[in-house]
């Protein structure tokens, strides 16, 4: 069984102080994909770099305290790919891929467009580049799982207050249409939705820090594992962990009947 976790940490130092790494070690996951490290290499402690049983691989943002992605892995990959080859995107530390013989594992962090028009434009630019990259990934001849904070709620069932967010970043028609293309045209599978096609209130992975959103479960599903069809077909179970709050996101775990 292959266990994969994705978690936006909203700062690895903050999440570590709240017990994230202690929890992680107990999960027996093969891969733990991280987003929003908000740290650079000198900020990382030895346990952040390599929790017990794992080696960490990271793509840091150039800007201090911003973005950044990583993957903790039990097995050493054949290749580590940092970035998408687009300088303005790669400066923000948004993509890392571990390559094995029959599998690639990706951690990705799509931009948020909520802070203004310039960041929404950066988000759309990322989406354009990433769509082609996902098309290329689908043709590589190995199974792939892309874990991350996509900053998009795909369908009305994926957020509590969908009517009030139709004109807001994260639920714009263009963003949702793009994700539909990824699934329908490129044939990537939203694995959580394959396992839970009708779940609504229990599917959320992010809650605003405003207005008691977490207490009232006014959430969004922003954290996904999109996989190649072969890997999605052997997904067996999923879990969104809410018992402890490590950040404003909850970790998503999916188990696949797959041997690396």
Contact assessment for residue 134 and residue 186, using Cβ atoms and an 8 Å cutoff:
yes
- Give how far Cα 86 sits from Cα of 82, 93, 94, Å: 11, 11, 11
| Catalytic one of 30, 149, 190, 223 | 149
Residue 43 falls in the annotated catalytic set:
no
> Hey, which residues are catalytic here?
149
């Amino acid at each position: 069984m292959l266990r994969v976790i994705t978690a936006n940490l909203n700062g690895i130092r903050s999440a570590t102080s709240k017990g994230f790494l202690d929890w992680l070690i107990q999960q027996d996951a093969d891969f733990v994909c991280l987003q929003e490290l908000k740290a650079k290499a000198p900020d990382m402690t030895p346990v952040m770099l390599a929790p017990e049983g794992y080696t960490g691989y990271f793509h840091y943002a150039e800007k201090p305290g911003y973005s950044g992605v990583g993957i903790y892995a039990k097995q050493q990959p054949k290749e580590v790919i940092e970035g998408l080859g687009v300088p303005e995107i790669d400066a923000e530390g948004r993509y890392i891929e571990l390559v094995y013989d029959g599998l690639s594992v990706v951690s990705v962090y799509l931009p948020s467009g909520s802070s203004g028009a310039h960041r929404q434009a950066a988000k759309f630019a990322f989406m354009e580049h990433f769509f082609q990259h996902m098309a290329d990934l689908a043709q590589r001849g190995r199974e792939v799982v892309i874990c991350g904070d996509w900053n998009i709620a795909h369908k009305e069932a994926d957020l509590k207050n969908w009517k009030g967010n139709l004109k807001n970043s994260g639920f714009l028609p263009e963003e949702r249409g793009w994700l539909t293309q990824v699934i329908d045209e490129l044939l990537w599978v939203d694995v959580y939705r394959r396992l839970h096609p009708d779940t609504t209130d229990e599917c959320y992975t992010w809650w605003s820090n405003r207005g008691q959103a977490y207490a009232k479960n006014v959430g969004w599903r922003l954290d996904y594992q999109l996989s190649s069809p072969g890997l999605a077909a052997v997904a067996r179970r999923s879990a969104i962990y809410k018992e402890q709050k490590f950040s404003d996101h909850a970790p998503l775990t999916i188990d696949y009947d797959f041997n690396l």
